[in-house]
């Protein structure tokens, strides 16, 4: 006869689970390790060893396929590129400076130049 949930819970409280099952816990990947579980087939994929597919078009088309079923399990893997982040922030600042400097000379066109430059910088920050 199987124990009830209450009996099992009391049993776990009486023993030190980590002490007795330390080898089992060390075999289970922790949250900090880069693993992904496929939602379709349940296969566990190590992100460090996985092959990145697609091409780098502002980091938007890179993805990782599941080794079990072949479906895409993660889009745009990898860390944020710090260079693109800095370029985006500089673009936002440059857009504000363009709008301030060109408005007296080009009126509306100076504002447009500054606005679109800062929008480009914002999008670069969001994409990176």
Burial class (CB in 10 A: 0-12, 13-18, 19+), 16: exposed
Distance of CA 95 to the CA centre of its chain: 28
Helix (H, G, I), strand (E, B) or coil at 20: helix
Q: Name the strands in the sheet holding 63-65, side by side, starting at the edge strand that comes first in the sequence.
A: 52-53, 63-65, 72-75
Q: Tell me: the pLDDT tens digits for 21-39?
A: 655 555 555 555 578 888 8
Task: Indicate the average pLDDT of the chain.
Answer: 76
Q: Tell me: the pLDDT tens digits for 36-84?
A: 888 888 888 887 777 777 766 655 677 788 888 888 887 765 555 677 7
Q: Greater confidence, 2 or 111?
A: 111
Output the pLDDT for position 77.
57
Q: Greater confidence, 58 or 128?
A: 128
Biggest CA pair distance of the chain: 88
């Amino acid at each position: 006869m199987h124990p009830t949930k209450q009996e099992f819970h009391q049993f776990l409280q009486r023993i030190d689970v980590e002490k007795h099952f330390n080898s089992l816990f060390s075999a289970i990947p922790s949250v900090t390790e880069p693993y992904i579980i496929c939602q379709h087939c349940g296969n566990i994929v190590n992100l460090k060893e996985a092959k990145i597919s697609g091409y780098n078009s502002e980091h938007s088309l890179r993805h990782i396929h599941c080794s079990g079923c072949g479906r895409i399990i993660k889009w745009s893997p990898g860390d944020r590129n710090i260079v693109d982040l800095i370029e985006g922030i500089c673009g936002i600042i440059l857009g504000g400076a363009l709008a301030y400097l060109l408005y007296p000379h080009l009126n509306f066109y100076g504002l447009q130049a500054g606005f679109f430059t800062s929008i480009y910088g914002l999008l670069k920050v969001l994409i990176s």
